[in-house]
Amino acid sequence: MCAKKKNQRIRFSGDGMVFSTQPHWKPELEEDASVDEEIRPSSQTLYVSLDRKQRAGKPVTLVEGFQGNGMKLLLLGKELKAICGAGGSVKDGAILIQGDHRDRVILELEGKGFKTKRKGG
């Protein structure tokens, strides 16, 4: 069996320190000062529109204007796709849902506490 390494290599970006030869040295952990505060859904306005550009004329429901964590955007997109029973994706901070589901999406977003505006027609 191999002996356990005594010196562990710990890399911090921009630190320059790769490892230490001191036996009891521990790296200082930096606290992230820029903690994102949660933005309440009631303070956000989401824009729901129908888009057909660059999609061979097929309609896509587009939800834009979400402010917050990328994971929360992915989860919201997943919930909306499941409710509509359609496919879609999350790209460039917008949720794309295949088909014309504007009314259903607006009802669901308002139920979650978001302010919504219908964009387009």
pLDDT digits (tens, 9 = 90+) for 82-111: 999 999 999 999 999 999 999 999 999 999
Phi, psi of 111 (to 5 degrees): -65, -30
Q: Could you tell me the pTM of the whole model?
A: 0.68
Return all residues near 116 (Cβ < 8 A) that are at least 6 apart.
45, 46, 47, 48, 106, 109, 110
Q: How many CB atoms lie within 10 A of CB 73?
A: 17
Distance of CA 37 to the CA centre of its chain: 15
* Tens-place pLDDT, residues 31-87: 655 555 678 888 889 999 999 988 888 999 999 999 988 899 999 999 999 999 999
Domains annotated for the chain, with CATH where assigned, are: 41-119 (3.30.780.10)
